[in-house]
Amino acid sequence: MNAKEKALIEAKANILKALGHPTRLWMAEQLAGGEKCVRELAKNIDADFSTISKHLSILKQAGVVDVDKRGKQVYYRLKVPCILNFMPCVEAVLQATAQSHIELMQHKQVVSEIEAL
């Protein structure tokens, strides 16, 4: 891997790290519906304003969100709304993993029943 490839991979990883925290991912999903201020996000998160602001700052540093200050209010929006387009794929992985666990447990149960005979 050359230096440019490494820098690009690291930049991608930083974005994924920013989205990798459950609260930040939830915030990004909320912002997919349109811009919101900290107060709007705080209504549904069990955290104080400073914690919420820190999470939003991490998303901003990663380039996931943009900020628009209007008077005393600060509004956040997704910089590139398509950032969450990979979520259906993530959900498909979750579903496939769950299905494989179900099949494994069913197989284990059949084996146990056969051994019991």
Q: Report pLDDT digits (tens) over 45-89.
A: 888 888 998 999 999 999 999 999 999 889 999 999 899 898 888
Query: In sequence order, what DSSP letters do the residues of 87-117 get, joined into one string?
Result: HHHHHHHHHHHHHHHHHHHHHHHHHHHHHH-
Contact 66, 79 (CB under 8 A): yes
pLDDT, averaged across the chain:
90
The beta-carbon contacts of 4-7 under 8 Å, at least 24 apart in sequence, are none
Strands across the sheet containing 73-78: 36-37, 73-78, 65-70
Query: How confident is the model over 90-103, as a mean pLDDT?
Result: 87
Q: Percentage of the chain surpassing pLDDT 70?
A: 97
Q: Domain spanning 3-80 has what CATH number?
A: 1.10.10.10
- What are the residue ranges spanned by the domains of the chain? 3-80, 86-117
Q: For 76, list phi and psi in degrees, rounded to 5.
A: -115, 145
Is residue 117 scored above 80 in pLDDT?
no
